[in-house]
Structure 1
């Protein structure tokens, strides 16, 4: 059976793609930078390929004998370079299918850097000649995990989302959709938009976290400037904080306010709601996991 290489394999989505593929009985190789962390997250039975996008030779080595690729390329100043290099290496290795995790709003030339980067990688993938499926994900529920410290210490979290209604998606559903594509004969050239079941606010998220954690959790809407300053104070690189704030601006403008049937079309079931994610995330947010 064809081996699948998963990049970003120890992250919120990648780790779950690995798990889904294993449940499907598909051989999987995890491309990771930190072997220790990957082993802790993925378990000891997963084939690990250590490397870095900045080291093209490690990418080429990881692709040896691989027929399918699940491409996750994290936000980085050199994201486009890294993503296109992986695609070129996959073509050179004879990979037969690439499934790329992208984002709603992806468009080359977008004034929002994250959307521009994803859009440019998408364009390169479509022009590569390899059969490809792009999964454009909505804003992920797992982003709330970035506020775990303030939730634990102060029962509050601070974001510049205002009252935006967002069709947030559980990363487990993104992974399930990706694994379904990789385990079935899905034609290339397809772009699927993945969202959660309804558009909700971060106030709704706070309510579900309150229920799951058994104590009141408050969402505090903050201005963009205060959010960027707080992220920088927490150690986030300034370029990243600036772009995260820009994405929240797009969310307030409604870029993720519509739902789709993408998850149902690819997996045969409805996506999970925020109440399911809140229960799953409760041990992580309480510090018990």
Structure 2
């Protein structure tokens, strides 16, 4: 309990947990894209990753012997419902049990591949794995020991990959679990009729977001972090190190400004520059793609 002034009177009230435990929030916003390799290198050994694993290529017939192929109803990854896991970092045994009971025997987070800066192959789905995914126990230990991430409880928002300028990535973290999946199309890549609602207030906010980003529209990093005694500067430095460098950014702009090319070709050119070993986002192969970059 603590004494507070309420309506001009000193009264005894419960002390808010945010003050009791020094829980703080911090919003990270940047308009420069992440380098996929650098982002992966930051998170792969500090969080148990949940990422999309699109279905393997189906046979021409789609189904065999009249039986429905496993996973044909959805292209989404199999996800652990971490929202329902309480005290997720209480013990490595608890989290391991949760994972083993709700997912395959191997870590569901383990992508088929990881980005490699030294692999001559540019097929993002066949790159040689050069960052070995640690065990869940090792990842939990790494996070607990990390000076900046140890008391990070929750984070959520959208992220912007240099190789995927057509869509936002969805970032959602609780405890040691981090989900990285494909999200909405950036508004600046869509015709206005696809995102306008008819509400002046709502449409004004969207137009403001697009205009604020200048040439690249509403594409941006915007993630809110919640934790105990958060090191804001430390978080900023870690994430800033994952952004494209000045030279890389200029190369990225050069590709984005090319006229007369299809979106798929543009993305292939970007992957040549900034190897992308993350799993494909569900639905990308079904998109027709929008040319240009938000003008």
TM-score exceeds 0.5: no
Structure with greater helix percent = 1
**Which structure has the greater CA radius of gyration?**
2
The TM-score normalised by the length of structure 1 is 0.26
